[in-house]
Amino acid sequence: MDQTCGGYTETKNATKEIQTICDQVKPQVEQKTGEKYEVFTALQDRSQLVNGTNYLIKVHVGGSSYLLLKVYQSFSGELGEPSVKKDHKDDPIVPF
């Protein structure tokens, strides 16, 4: 992973690891948004090495709908509460 401490990586296609993170936080995202998602597919992500890792993940949630998730994962593998914002397919992945 090409990354310096504190800086975000370039946007890349999501891996199986990123999809696994999305699958784990999906119930929290559904609770926050008040929606149930039949589709919840990680498309792209960026990461930031801090005291753990911050992930910015673009997720397709069906039709023409997308979400941008910010998820913190500690070095022990614990996932923090995700932050969520609505996004568009072609919007760049930028910190929020």
Rounded CA separation 71/44 (Å): 13
pLDDT tens over the chain, length 96 residues: 455 566 899 999 999 999 999 999 999 999 999 999 999 999 999 999 998 999 999 999 999 999 999 999 999 999 998 999 888 888 888 888
DSSP string, 6-64: TSBPPPEE--HHHHHHHHHHHHHHHHHHT---S--EEEEEEEEEESEEEEEEEEE-STT
Residue 68 tokens, joined: 């941008």
Q: List the chain domain ranges.
A: 12-87
Q: Looking at the whole model, is its pTM more than 0.75?
A: yes
Strand order in the sheet with 41-50: 12-13, 41-50, 52-60, 66-73, 83-87
